[in-house]
A and B are shown apart, each in its own frame.
Chain A
């Protein structure tokens, strides 16, 4: 069925370290993979996304990699800062029989960056 698995559920790092969050998806037709950041009590906000025709995308300290063969994609945050502390959600587009592509979200990773 339609499924996106996300690991780890919690991640604690020291300021300046790197953080990696991994997701796997089940629908081979998925072609859009966004990452959202949600600060406590706030709405999810898109931080980076990648399409299936690209293997890697970078934006300053964050990067996303995609392995279509293995059906997994990862978020990489380098030089972490305390303000990176939040819950991060991965998502994958799913194409049901209706033809409408919808997003299925992972269960989230709570990232804590300690000073």
Chain B
């Protein structure tokens, strides 16, 4: 059971380049999330999805787009990367929303550097 898997694990981009981060979960979870983690700022929600075909904005959505075409996959796109998007990105999934009866499982993270 792989759980939540992120691809790639590391990436270096030049300013203005685009890329897509892939998150895949094999737990049949409805909910999926993308967070970014920056020093001293904890985990901040970028976008989330409550089911296949749905997406919604989180706390820091600017500069990112997402898609959930398949239930098991949640893609995070950077159309024109900026140095401010240098961060560690974590995907997570859960069976339900955070109503006190479900645990969120995190992927191993993607370290992105934009130069």
Contact = CB atoms under 8 A, between A and B. Distances in A.
B is bound to A: yes
B106 A44 contact: yes
Contact of A103 (B40, B45, B107): B45
Contact of B48 (A32, A44, A51, A102): A102
A32 B90 contact: no
Contacts of A2: 59
Interface in B36-57: 40-45, 48, 50, 56
A100 B56 contact: yes
A100 B106 contact: no
B98 A32 contact: yes
B42 A106 contact: yes
Interface residues of B, number: 24
Nearest to B41: A107
**B contact patch SS:** loop
A56 to B, nearest CB: 15
Contacts of A46: 103-104
B97 interface: yes
Contacts of B99: 31-32, 93, 101
Given A45-B106, A46-B104, A51-B100, A102 B45 contact: yes
Nearest to A1: B59
A52 to B, nearest CB: 7
Interface of A: 2, 6, 9, 31-32, 34, 42-46, 49, 51-52, 89, 91, 93, 98, 100-108
